[in-house]
């Protein structure tokens, strides 16, 4: 008994290590990594080198479900709400109507290719109707493809949201095929009610569960760092299981919970992300290895040719046609439709669903599994190997250039948020063309070639220099404008959406934006407040975060007194407050005049600063 357990652990751990190591080889030859994991499972199975006998469909389905719940939660956690604002309607149309259309088209082809009944044909179509979340998220986030925003958002949301529809259709047709009953009106009504229940409960429980995950994590401030992310993921699995037990879609709940929790303000979010990256990798490896072990390639001979033909119909006809129909009401270019249709990878979800006919008592259930397994292999080979090529040919990639290279979140006590960020300077950025770097945005380290410098001994920053600096997350947008984008001195993110005079009372700002930590009865002006904070030596571009707003020095008088100030409202604030009349009445001239004076002031200050730096050196 003990020897058997040790042997199982040895083989399992060895396969995981082998899968990890072969990822290096697959990246060099461009092979889809998930295909490699599946192939290792096949080699270790009963027809492979190790000859491991594994034929428990129930166990494989359990492992796959658990792994998919982890993957979906992490996928939702990493999906910003911005993706939904960009592509919610087309993505959800693809996740529902697109799945039904694909299942119907493949079902018709299955009926004629394999000679099965219509119900069995539609069962086969339902099994392969959904885009695999694990495969798509791997290609988009790990594969290094930087797609255009709308296309990327559409694929992310669709792949995370389309599994419930495919699972529901598969379960319905398994029941019909096993009972060999003709669906009547009563069954159709029951089908609609059951679908509404699963989707409705899945959404509700997912939203509540995501809020619970965020609330729990924010209360576990003093928990051991190793236990903190475990508590979050375990809570997500509770949401997944509870939803299934109550009659909802557990997979939808897990994804929605991830979206809700990931878009809440959390303490130590980097701990969760680091942990989930490892867990998602382990889940994908375990899921694909298990499904590979379950397959028996020696049984593929009878069905391999029609299965490949069905895969070709799915890849080149059914999926593209369904995508084209679903995206007709939306403003997608033909290139975008073609690419979305091509990124319809089938993966572990389809293989998992192919287990259900056997478990549900469908006659020749193993045949469904073999057909789907061959179709998934074909999809990963044809589509997975050519995604990058298709993205280049259809011009779906964002241009690679200088920009944000790395972000390392720092764990600080309290609610302080700080990151070490790295940029490669854009050749046309403000700093590359000679503009002065704001004092708060100066890098702590610069790499030019293979040598390192400080800001005090490098002179002027140049294009392609690599700079490192500490910043809060809310400063990244402005840093992007300074280091990684062509110069745009009039952009409001640099100097503020609103400009007002320095003589405005600070108490007015504090009252307007709920800055209760400050003395609301003070007669101090905003200019005086900033001069005090900058030790009486403000310079143009100095920036100070105060609660939900940022104050930026935009112009100085000849005697170095703050004359105008820019106001930037935190985009994460719940509401964008109205600007009081006292501010708008104080605006000095037009923005263009202020910019001209700012440039003149910045030039003078830059000369003085450079002379001061040389003297200090």
Give phi and psi for 377, each to the nearest 5: -60, -45
pLDDT class of 509 with cuts at 50, 70, 90: confident
Under 8 Å between Cβ of 206 and 262: no
560: left (phi over 0), alpha (psi -120 to 50) or beta: left
| pLDDT surpasses 90 at 88 | no
Domain with CATH 1.20.1530.20 in the chain: 2-393
Helices (H), 302-364: 304-313, 319-326, 334-342, 348-359
Domain covering 2-393: architecture: Up-down Bundle (1.20)
Which candidate, 174, 154, 172, places its Cα nearest to that of 95?
Answer: 154
The predicted model scores a pTM of: 0.71
Residue 205's pLDDT is 94
Residue 418's pLDDT is 76
Which candidate, 28, 42, 17, places its Cα nearest to that of 373?
Answer: 42
pLDDT class of 121 with cuts at 50, 70, 90: very high
Domain with CATH 3.30.70.1450 in the chain: 404-483
Under 8 Å between Cβ of 391 and 147: yes
| 392-419 residues labelled b (16+ CB within 10 A) or e (exposed) | eebebeeeeebbeeeeebeeeeeeebeb
Domain with CATH 3.30.465.10 in the chain: 495-616
pLDDT class of 319 with cuts at 50, 70, 90: very high
Q: What is the fold, at CATH topology level, of the domain defined by 495-616?
A: 3.30.465
Per-residue pLDDT tens over the stretch 4-19:
777 778 877 887 887 7
As a whole number of angstroms, the distance between CA 44 and CA 64 comes to 18
Under 8 Å between Cβ of 312 and 378: yes
Range with the largest mean pLDDT of 355-369, 395-409, 536-550, 561-575: 355-369
Per-residue pLDDT tens over the stretch 46-75:
887 888 888 888 888 898 889 889 988 988
As a whole number of angstroms, the distance between CA 149 and CA 147 comes to 6
Under 8 Å between Cβ of 33 and 385: no
| pLDDT surpasses 70 at 24 | no
| pLDDT surpasses 50 at 614 | no
Per-residue pLDDT tens over the stretch 256-315:
999 999 888 887 777 888 888 888 888 888 888 888 888 888 888 888 999 999 999 999
As a whole number of angstroms, the distance between CA 163 and CA 253 comes to 11
Q: Is domain 404-483 classified as CATH 3.30.70.1450?
A: yes
Under 8 Å between Cβ of 44 and 290: no
For residues 505 and 124, which has the higher predicted lDDT (pLDDT)? 124
Residue 309's pLDDT is 94
Q: By CB neighbour count within 10 A (0-12 exposed, 13-18 middle, 19+ buried), where does 265 fall?
A: exposed
For residues 455 and 124, which has the higher predicted lDDT (pLDDT)? 124
Over residues 487-495, the mean pLDDT reads 60
């Amino acid at each position: 008994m003990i020897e058997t357990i040790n042997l199982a652990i040895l083989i399992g751990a060895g396969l995981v290590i082998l899968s990890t190591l072969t990822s290096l080889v697959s990246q060099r030859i461009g092979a889809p990594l998930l295909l490699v994991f599946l192939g290792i499972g096949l080699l270790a199975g009963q027809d492979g080198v190790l000859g491991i006998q594994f034929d428990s469909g129930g166990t494989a389905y359990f492992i796959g479900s658990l792994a998919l719940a982890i993957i979906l939660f992490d996928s939702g956690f990493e999906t910003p709400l911005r993706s939904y604002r960009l592509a919610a309607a087309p993505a959800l149309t693809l996740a529902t109507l697109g799945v039904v259309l694909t299942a119907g088209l493949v079902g018709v082809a299955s009926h004629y290719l394999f000679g099965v009944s219509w119900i069995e044909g539609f069962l086969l179509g339902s099994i392969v109707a959904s885009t695999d979340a694990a495969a798509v998220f791997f290609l988009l986030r790990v594969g290094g493809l930087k797609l255009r925003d709308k296309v990327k958002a559409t694929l992310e949301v669709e792949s995370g949201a389309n599994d419930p529809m495919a699972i529901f259709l598969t379960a319905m047709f398994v029941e019909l095929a096993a009972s060999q009953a003709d669906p009547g009106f009563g069954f159709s009504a029951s089908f609609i009610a059951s679908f509404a229940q699963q989707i409705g409960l899945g959404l509700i429980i997912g939203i509540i569960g995501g809020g619970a995950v965020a609330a729990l994590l924010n209360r576990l401030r003093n928990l051991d760092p190793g236990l903190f992310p475990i508590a979050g993921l375990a809570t997500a699995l509770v949401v997944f299981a509870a939803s299934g037990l109550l009659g909802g879609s557990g997979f939808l709940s897990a994804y929605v919970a991830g979206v809700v929790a990931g878009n809440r303000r959390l303490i130590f979010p980097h701990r969760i992300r680091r942990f989930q990256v490892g867990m998602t990798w382990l889940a994908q490896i375990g899921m694909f290895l298990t499904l590979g072990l379950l397959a028996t390639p020696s049984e593929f001979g009878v069905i391999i040719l029609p299965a490949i033909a069905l895969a070709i119909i799915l890849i080149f006809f059914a999926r593209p046609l369904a995508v084209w129909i679903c995206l007709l009401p939306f403003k997608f270019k033909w290139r975008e439709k073609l690419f979305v249709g091509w990124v319809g990878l089938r993966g572990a979800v389809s293989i998992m669903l192919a287990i259900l006919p056997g478990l549900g008592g469908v006659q020749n259930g193993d045949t469904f599994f073999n057909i789907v397994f061959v179709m998934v292999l074909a999809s990963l080979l044809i589509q997975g190997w050519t995604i990058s090529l298709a993205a280049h040919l259809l011009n779906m990639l964002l241009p690679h250039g200088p920009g944000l290279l790395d972000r390392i979140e720092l764990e600080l006590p309290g609610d302080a948020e700080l990151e070490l960020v790295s940029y490669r300077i854009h050749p046309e950025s403000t700093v590359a063309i000679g503009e002065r770097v704001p004092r708060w945005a100066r890098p702590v380290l610069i790499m030019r070639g293979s040598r390192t410098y400080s800001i005090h001994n490098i002179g002027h920053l140049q294009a392609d220099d690599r700079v490192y600096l500490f910043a809060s997350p809310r400063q990244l947008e402005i840093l992007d404008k300074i280091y990684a984008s062509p110069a745009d001195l009039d952009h409001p993110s640099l100097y503020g959406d609103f400009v007002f005079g320095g003589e405005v009372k600070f108490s007015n700002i504090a009252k307007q934006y709920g800055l209760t930590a400050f003395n609301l009865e003070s007669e101090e002006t905003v200019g005086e407040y900033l001069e005090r904070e900058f030790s009486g030596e403000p310079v143009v571009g100095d920036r100070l975060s105060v609660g939900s707003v940022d104050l930026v020095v935009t112009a100085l008088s000849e005697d170095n007194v703050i004359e105008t100030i820019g106001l930037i409202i935190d985009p994460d604030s719940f509401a964008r407050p109205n600007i009081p009349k006292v501010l708008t009445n104080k605006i000095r001239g037009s923005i263009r005049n202020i910019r001209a004076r700012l440039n003149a002031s910045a030039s003078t200050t830059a000369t003085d600063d450079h002379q001061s730096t040389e003297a200090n050196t």
